[in-house]
Amino acid sequence: MKLQRNGRTKALAIGTLAVVGSLTLAACGSDNNSNASSGSSSAASGSAASASCGSGQLLAAGSTAQKNAMDIWSRDYQQQCSGTTINYQGTGSSAGRASFLSGKLSFAGSDAAMKADEIAKSKSACGGQGQAINLPMVGGPIAIGYNLPGVKNLVLDAPTLAKIFSGKIKTWNDPAIKKLNPSASLPSTAIQTFHRSDGSGTSANFTAYLKAAAGSDWSYGANSNWPAPGGQAAQGSSGLAAQVKQVAGSISYFEMSYATASGITTASLDNGSGSPVAISTAAAAKSLANAKVIGTNGDLALQLDYADKTPGAYPLSLVTYEIVCDKGNKSSTLPALKGFLNYAASDAGQQAVTSAGYMQLPASITDKLKTAISSLK
C-alpha cells in the first residue's frame, strides 16, 4: 500500500499497513450497526451517481458516533466510484486524532474539533505544506438511554444527570428524579451508570453539556476522557448501548442511532424552557441552528450552545468533524478525498443518513463546507 501523503517514512508505511490489516470495509467495523446502515440506500443510490469520482484507497478512523453514517456514505459512494476504496474504523475520536497526527490517515473523524496545539502538530502530518482543518459533516442528538422496565417517558435535566453520573444520586426513586416525574412509578432499583472507556468526543460533548447546564452540580469540567469517579466503562458507543440493553437499572449516553437500532428507551430533557423535549433530529437541529463558526482560514469549528433554553430545542447534541489537511494531501488520492467529502456534504449525502438517526446539517454550514472542500490541495 502507498502512503497517504508525500514525505512519509518507510517505518510509517509499515505502521499504516498494520492498521489497514485490522480494518474491514463498511459493514465490518467494530461499531457497525447493520440496521442503521441499510436503511438509506434508496435515498442515496441515485444521487450518488452524480458524485465526482477519484481513485485509490482512503484510510480513515476515529469517531464511533459517525460510524453508521460512514458505513452508508462509503457504501453508496463506492457503488458509483468503483475505483475508490474507503476504509473507516470506529476507534474513537481521540484515537482517530492521534492516528491522523502520526500521518496514518487521509482523514480522521472526531466529535471534538482539533485544538490549537493539535493543529500546530498537524503540520508535519500535512507534509509541511499545510495544517489540519475541522470540517463539520455529521450532526445528531446524544441520547440518554436507560433500562428501567415499566418506566417510560422519563424526564431528566442537566443537574439531575450530573448527580447521577457523579454518583450522588444512587437509586431510581431519588427525590430529584421523582420531582421531574411526579406521575411515574419509580422503583428503588440501584442506578448503574456506564461511560466510555476510550477517549471520546461523545464524552466531551456530554460533559460539556453538564458543565454548561448543570452549574455547580457538575465540577468535573468537559473532557474526552471520562472525568468523574464511579460508574462502569465500555468501549465505543456500541459498547455503551449493549450494556444498557442488557443491564436493568442502567443509564448511559450515546448517539440516537444506537438507541434506535437497539430499541433502547430514551429520556426527554428539561432544558429550562418549561416543557421537556423528547429526543429527535428536528429538536436537535433547532438547537444546532444557534451554533457559531469559531474557526478561521477554512477551519469550520463550531461553538454549540449546550445551555440552550429555546422551547422545543434538544440541547444535547454533537457535531462530528472530518479532520483533513488543507494542503499537503497526496495528489493521486486528492480527487477521491474531495469527491467523497463533497458527496457527504451534499443534500443527497446528508439526506441519506437521516433514517439512521442523524440530522441534515443546515445550508449555512454545508455551503461553507463545499467551499472549504473545493480548496483542499
2 belongs to a structural domain: no
95 belongs to a structural domain: yes
Q: Do 169 and 134 share a structural domain? A: no
Q: Do 265 and 335 share a structural domain? A: no
Distance CA 240, CA 145 (A): 9
Q: How many CB atoms lie within 10 A of CB 75?
A: 21
Taken in order 3, 369, 222, 194, the sign of the CA dihedral is negative
Task: Please enumerate in sequence order all residues whose Cβ is within 8 A of that of 202, keeping only pairs 6 or more positions apart, or say none.
Answer: 63, 64, 65, 93, 111, 142, 196, 237, 253, 254, 255, 318
Residues in a beta bridge with 253: 144
Grid cell at residue 224 = 474526552
Task: List pLDDT tens digits, range 200-257.
Answer: 989 999 999 999 999 999 999 999 999 999 999 999 999 999 999 999 999 999 999 8
Grid cell at residue 230 = 464511579
307 belongs to a structural domain: no
75 belongs to a structural domain: yes
pLDDT at 18: 35
92 belongs to a structural domain: yes
pLDDT at 50: 65
pLDDT at 135: 98
What CA–CA distances, in Å, run from 141 to 66, 117, 288, 375?
12, 28, 10, 30
Q: Do 272 and 179 share a structural domain? A: yes
pLDDT at 48: 53
Q: Do 154 and 236 share a structural domain? A: yes
Residues in a beta bridge with 139: 319, 359
Q: Do 330 and 248 share a structural domain? A: no
pLDDT at 257: 85
Q: Do 104 and 16 share a structural domain? A: yes
pLDDT at 369: 95
Q: Do 110 and 28 share a structural domain? A: yes
- Domain interval for residue 364: 10-140+321-374
pLDDT at 10: 34
Grid cell at residue 309 = 433554553
314 belongs to a structural domain: no
pLDDT at 345: 97
Q: Do 128 and 25 share a structural domain? A: yes
Phi, psi angle pair for 91, to nearest 5°: -95, -10
Domain CATH number, residue 17: 3.40.190.10
Q: Do 213 and 146 share a structural domain? A: yes
Provide the CA 340 distance to its chain's centre, in angstroms.
18
Residues in a beta bridge with 203: none
pLDDT at 13: 35
Q: Do 272 and 156 share a structural domain? A: yes
Q: Do 268 and 239 share a structural domain? A: yes
The count of domains in the chain is: 2
Distance CA 365, CA 361 (A): 7
Instruction: For residue 86, give the nearest of 10, 4, 18, 14 by alpha carbon.
Output: 4
pLDDT at 21: 34
Q: Do 175 and 231 share a structural domain? A: yes
Question: Which residue stretches of the chain have pLDDT < 50?
Answer: 1-47, 49
